[in-house]
Amino acid sequence: MNNILKKPYTNEQYAQFAGNANQNGQRIETDNTAAYALFDNEAVKNGEIVDISDTDEYKTKKLAEAKIAKITENEQKRSVEFITISLGRMKTQTPLGDLKTAMPLYEKIAQAQGGLPAGAVRLYDQDGNMTLSPALTLEQVDAILLEISMAYIAIDQKSTQYCSAIDEAQTLAELENINLEY
């Protein structure tokens, strides 16, 4: 496929040109002389298609895009870790929402009643086996909620460190060396 469609061209020619470019993952740019099918690393200079992958502007753009992708990956891994940590110890059995939402409610119920009744929460061992909770005293509820809260804090701290490292990365290589391990 020719990557330049010189004017004058018909609507049909342009539609076919644009369709081919789209299939090839190219974008279309036009000026007063032609339409150009360009890959991400290409630009039009003086009516010619040139490779811009070595320019500072292109490298800055690619680094910014990679940082957004890395931040998104970090947020996904952080969310998975929150779910894993919370379900690894305690899970709501009632429709109170996720554990972060339910924790303050459980705490208030436990304070008002001096604990939680048997079966109020599901507890999990390290192998993922579930058992319904026995009646829990206020101290036991506080200990469970503290354990989970401390795990949440550790995850947040790690996430903040990763976000700082991502933000400070000056090259794609530096960014790729950030291993998001929770």
Continuous segment of H or E residues that includes residue 130: strand 130-132
How do residues 110-139 score in pLDDT, each as one tens digit?
999 999 999 887 776 667 777 888 899 999
Whose tokens are 């992958």? That residue is: 53
User: How many C-beta atoms lie closer than 10 Å to residue 73's C-beta?
Assistant: 14
Write phi, then psi, for 179 (nearest 5 degrees). -95, 115
Rounded to whole angstroms, the Cα distance separating 82 from 149 reads 10
Q: Is the pTM of this model over 0.75?
A: no
Tell me what pLDDT residue 70 has: 98
How do residues 19-72 score in pLDDT, each as one tens digit?
999 999 999 999 999 999 999 999 999 999 999 999 999 999 999 999 999 999
Tell me what pLDDT residue 96 has: 55
What number is the average pLDDT over the span 153-164?
Answer: 96
Pairing of strands 42-45, 115-116: unpaired
Write phi, then psi, for 175 (nearest 5 degrees). -65, -40
Nearest one of 139, 99, 104 to 121, comparing CA atoms: 99
| 178 or 80: which leads in pLDDT | 178
149: alpha, beta or left? (left if phi > 0; alpha if psi -120 to 50): alpha
Rounded to whole angstroms, the Cα distance separating 91 from 78 reads 18
3-12, 88-97, 102-111, 162-171: the lowest-pLDDT one? 88-97
Count helices and strands in the chain by DSSP H and E runs: 5, 10
Secondary structure of residue 93 in the 3-state scheme: coil
Rounded to whole angstroms, the Cα distance separating 105 from 47 reads 66
Rounded to whole angstroms, the Cα distance separating 78 from 159 reads 7
Tell me what pLDDT residue 120 has: 83
In this model, does residue 79 exceed pLDDT 90?
A: no
Q: Are 49 and 38 in contact (CB under 8 A)?
A: yes
Tell me what pLDDT residue 115 has: 94
In this model, does residue 85 exceed pLDDT 80?
A: no
Rounded to whole angstroms, the Cα distance separating 182 from 180 reads 7
Buried b (16+ CB within 10 A) or exposed e, 107-137: eebbeeeebbeeebbebbeeeeeeeebeebe
